[in-house]
Amino acid sequence: MKNLLIVIGFWITIGSNFFSHAGEGETAPFGGSIRGSLGENTPAGCFQSSKRSNTASSAGTRLRHPQEQSFFRAFRELHPDIPLVCVCGNHDVGDNPTQESIQTYKSKFGDDYFTFYCGGVKFIVINSQFYKASEQVQDLAAEHDRWLDEQLEEAKSGKYKHVVIFQHIPWFIRNPDEEDLYFNINTEIREKMLKKFYEANVRAVFCGHWHGNAGGFYKDLEVVVTSAIGGQLRGDRSGLRVIKVLDSAIRHNYYALGDVPKEISLD
């Protein structure tokens, strides 16, 4: 396979409300349906973004709309050979998502879960909020679970060089046996899903949400927690993570924004 370079960044837009309405001509999803635009011929590089906007702020739509437009303007500058993959977080669909909040996200940014493929690698993007709070969207969560089970079963075929998961909320921050926190997923669900992932040959899960760099291992499955491009809560510097997907290994480094190299070797 050809080596693949992925850059991931997590950021939050402050003081906006999810339930805004785009103006005339602005209702189409940014980049369209990801399922329809990514496939076996995806170029060897992508920018993965967890686009987060505060759903609970009283500032409401006054700030939400200009922040979305700023996001669109910035990423229209991305080279057309580099796919942009958006991964929804709790501030996109809400800490306790609803049918409306998920549909609003999809109308602006595309699917909230999907798979894509490149160079013999299977990438699975999930909506982790379903594992945190699904009381108001039980039907959507069940549909997501059925879909994910199908993807993981197919991944057991052994035909992929790697199977990689992208999600927002990490299963754990540092240790799979840690206590339940706001920033991780509760133990019962965590244990079940990590076991499923491992049996499906998943060996890397990339997450955010913690506003700090962290991570650890479940057996030899690595959970990588990446800090934010914006606000920091753990003493890290604002930055992004560069991932090299090689033939027999996945390597990654976090760079503060002022330290991002101008050239990166894929050797």
Query: Tens digit of pLDDT for each residue in 157-170?
Result: 999 999 999 999 99
- The overall average pLDDT reported for the chain is 82
- What backbone torsions phi and psi does residue 117 show, to the nearest 5 degrees? -135, 145
pLDDT of residue 67: 77
Burial of residue 231 (CB within 10 Å: 0-12, 13-18, 19+) is exposed
pLDDT of residue 3: 78
pLDDT of residue 1: 58
pLDDT of residue 50: 56
Q: What is the CB neighbour count within 10 angstroms for residue 252?
A: 17
Fold category of 4-15+62-256 in CATH:
Purple Acid Phosphatase; chain A, domain 2 (3.60.21)
Mean pLDDT across the stretch 212-238? 93
SS3 state at 8 = strand
Mean pLDDT across the stretch 177-206? 97
Mean pLDDT across the stretch 35-62? 46
pLDDT of residue 47: 54
Residue entry with tokens 């945190």: 132
Residue entry with tokens 């609803």: 98
DSSP E strand stretches across 3-143: 4-13, 45-53, 84-86, 114-118, 121-125
